[in-house]
Structure 1
Amino acid sequence: MEKDPLHVIEQAEDHLIERIAENMHTFGMPATVGRILGIIYMNRKPMTLTELSEATGMSKTRMSQAVREMLDVNLAEKVFEKGVRKDLYDVEQDYYQTFITLFTATWSKVVSKNKMMHKKLNRELTAALENGVPEEAEEKINELLKELKDWLDYYNWISRLIEFFESEEIFKHVPKP
């Protein structure tokens, strides 16, 4: 018995949406955000909060929060369409650009948090040294300061990697098919 082609299409789209949601989770994004991204992507045109609420079964309040989160990390954008009074939201249709957006947003947060921690620990350890400490503690503090410098070097390298992705220089070295 042959399956209804519309049912097959709907199932395939549902599977792809779930896969996108799982992939988003890998980047530390809620699966909900991934589902919304997938739904807009599969719709192939911008959608309103009402349409997204209906498609996901989520409340408009929660939908608004999730879309705001997507806007904050540049996964979605508000678009204008002549004759449409409600806000419309669209997503990038290029998988590669979506990856770059997710990668850079995720790692930019990590870099920022770790650089702040570096400053705090460096300041505290340096102050401890300046206040005078026993020789054993001085040795340990100097080891930690060296570790912090290596740590900062690592996060500066990640910052350069982020710039490499954002500039799309990556595609010169790892071309799109």
Structure 2
Amino acid sequence: MEENEEFKIKKIEDQFIDRFAENINTYGISPTVGRVLGLIYMNRKPMTLNELSEASGMSKTRMSQVVRKMVNLNIAEKVFEKGFRKDLYNVEQDYYQTFIAVFSTNWGKLAHKNKMTGKKLQKELSEILSSEDELTEEAEVKINELLEETRLLLNYINWLDRLVDFFESEEIFKHVPKT
């Protein structure tokens, strides 16, 4: 392959990596994570932190942080390769699965956090209503409104949980096929 062809191919690969960075950013994840995701994806095989640092121009320390974030988001995993002593990291090669992992992780965390808050608020409001303290009519109306709002929030969170399950089970593909 000629040097000019190699340059053109590298430029196109860089454009793919830029798309990964931009796309992942729409999910609320830093473009840096997207670039590293793209680097591993375009490499088509697992990479070490050293290889990733060299390819991205980031320090090994920063790369370690980025890869840890990717593992926490379920978009990268540490893999074992017999006879290889350094940690290797790989990513899903299926765009759909990457989307599901990012979607499920982000929305699942949000749902869990909101569910806990909603239940806590519901309990506190119910305790106020059932306390022996006299409530004004206005306070009682406001508490009941907040209880209804909490019920609506918890219904939404339940729906969100089911939506995440819908994606994770891949049932989505029966309704919205990949091709």
Q: TM-score with structure 2 length normalisation?
A: 0.93
Would you say 1:152 and 2:154 are equivalent positions?
yes
C-alpha distance in 2, partners of 1:65/1:22? 20
Distance 1:27 1:109 in 2: 14
Matches for 1:23-172 after TM superposition, within 5 Å: 23-131=23-131, 132-172=134-174
RMSD: 1.3
Cα distance, 1:34 vs structure 2? 0.7
Q: What is the number of equivalent residue pairs in this alignment?
A: 175
Deviations 1:105-134 (A, max 9, x none): 110011011111102211221222123321
Compute the displacement of 1:159 (Å). 0.4
Query: In structure 2, how many angstroms separate the alpha carbons of the residues matched to 1:33 and 1:115?
Result: 28
Gaps of 5+ in 1: none
CA apart distance, 1:102: 0.7
CA distance in structure 2 between the partners assigned to 1:82 and 1:13 by the alignment: 29
Q: 1:176 and 2:171 equivalent? A: no
Q: Secondary structure at the match of 2:90?
A: strand
Moved more, 35-44 or 11-20: 11-20
Three-state SS of the structure 2 residue aligned to 1:4 is helix
List alignment gaps of at least 5 residues for structure 2.
none
* TM-score between the two structures when normalised by the length of structure 1: 0.94
Query: What displacement does 1:83 show?
Result: 2.4
Q: Distance in 2 between matches of 1:70 and 1:134?
A: 52
